[in-house]
Amino acid sequence: MINDNAPGSRARRDIAKTVSAVLDTKFFKALCDPVRAEIIRRLVTIGAADVGTIAKTMTQDRSVISRHLAQLERAEILMSRKDGRRRLYDMAGPDIVTKLEDILAAVSPMRELCVPFGGRECNCAGKCECGRAAA
């Protein structure tokens, strides 16, 4: 089809729907906070660990770390299991990779379909901030 990227085209509506569906707010939100990012960094480095062990190396209170860990598990970034009175958390590596692959698959048609401004040059003659615009 020559007119796939026309405004409101079937192709555009389809990809909009697919992209919306795959935009997992819970997943992205969990990745935004710097403390949670640091927790992820440490769990990747050291492997499975309990709440106290993780909290000991960070400035926040244990209860705060506990809540961050629970949120990361709800976002399916971590998994947990009980070990006596402790709870062990570990990275859900395969799940994370699968989720990102799904997102990429949904988004990748945008490479051809959502070329900004149809690839047309800006006629601003350097007056606006469109530096990244025209290929």
Q: Which residues bind DNA (CB under 7 A)?
A: 29, 32-33, 35-36, 50-53, 55, 59-64, 66-71, 80, 82, 84-87
Closer residue to its own copies in complex, CB, 2/132: 132
Look at residue 77 and give the partner it binds from its own copies, DNA, none, a contact being a CB closer than 5 to 8 Å depending on partner kind: none
Contacts of 110 by beta carbon, 8 Å cutoff, 6+ apart: 15, 19
Residue ranges in the chain assigned as alpha helix (H): 10-22, 25-32, 34-46, 51-56, 62-74, 93-107, 110-113
Look at residue 102 and give the partner it binds from its own copies, DNA, none, a contact being a CB closer than 5 to 8 Å depending on partner kind: none
Q: What is the CA radius of gyration of the chain?
A: 21
What's phi and psi for 73, nearest 5 deg?
-70, -40
Binding residues for its own copies, per CB under 8 A?
Answer: 5-8, 12-13, 15-16, 19-20, 23, 25, 28-29, 31-32, 34, 37, 40-42, 44-48, 76, 78-82, 88, 90-97, 100-101, 103-104, 107-108, 110-118, 122, 124, 127-130, 132-133
